[in-house]
Structures are given as C-alpha cells and as structure tokens.
Amino acid sequence: MKFAPYTSASDALIRDRLIALALHAAPAAANSTLIAAPAGYGKTTLLSQIQNAMEARSDKTAWLNCSAEDRQPDSFPCQLGALFPSCRPL
C-alpha cells in the first residue's frame, strides 16, 4: 500500500471547489500544493479526488504514502526512487 491511497474517494462527498483550487490556483507555474489540516479532515480523500480529476484529463500522477521511517534521511529518497517504476506511462 506504499504506492496507492489508503482510502477510496468513490463514496465521499466530491469537493469540486477545493479540487479546482488545487488544480487551477495561482501561480499557474507552481507544481505543488500544500494541504494542511488536522487528522480526520479529509486530506487523503481530497488528494485522491484531485488525483482522479488529473487522471481524467490524462495527466500522469503518482502516489507515495509516507511513514515515520521516511523521516530518516536515507529512507525517503529510496522510497521516492521506488515510486517512479510504479508509474505507468500513458
């Protein structure tokens, strides 16, 4: 489950406004968005919905679930490197 969401967004409330903000907010050149909220506020569900929206428009996406071990300086780059082969080209 390192390279897939822990949850499914299929039965969740679709938050179109938040998805649009994440995908189209200024600056347009930014390739990342920070989503911060307490536990249980739907961050993973929202990210899954953003991923679904991006894939629907043929954008490539990848998912990496980080754990406490990824705080180690050598662990995160290794996990990130393992992520790329899991990405399927379109």
d(CA 22, CA 35): 9
Question: What is the per-residue pLDDT across 66-79, written as a single tens digit (0 to 9) for each?
Answer: 778 778 888 888 88
The model's pTM: 0.71
Residue 4 within a domain: no
Residue 28 within a domain: yes
d(CA 7, CA 35): 17
Residue 60 within a domain: yes
**Residue 25 is part of which domain span?**
16-86
The reported pLDDT for the residue numbered 89 is: 55
Residue 1 within a domain: no
Residue 64 within a domain: yes
Number of domains in the chain: 1
Question: What is the per-residue pLDDT across 3-25, written as a single tens digit (0 to 9) for each?
Answer: 777 766 677 788 889 888 888 87
Residue 20 within a domain: yes
Question: Of 24, 13, 4, 1, which is closest to residue 46 (Cα–Cα)?
Answer: 13
Sign of CA dihedral 20, 26, 30, 36: negative
Residue 40 within a domain: yes
The reported pLDDT for the residue numbered 87 is: 66
Tokens of 15: 């938050």
Q: What is the mean pLDDT of residues 37-56?
A: 89
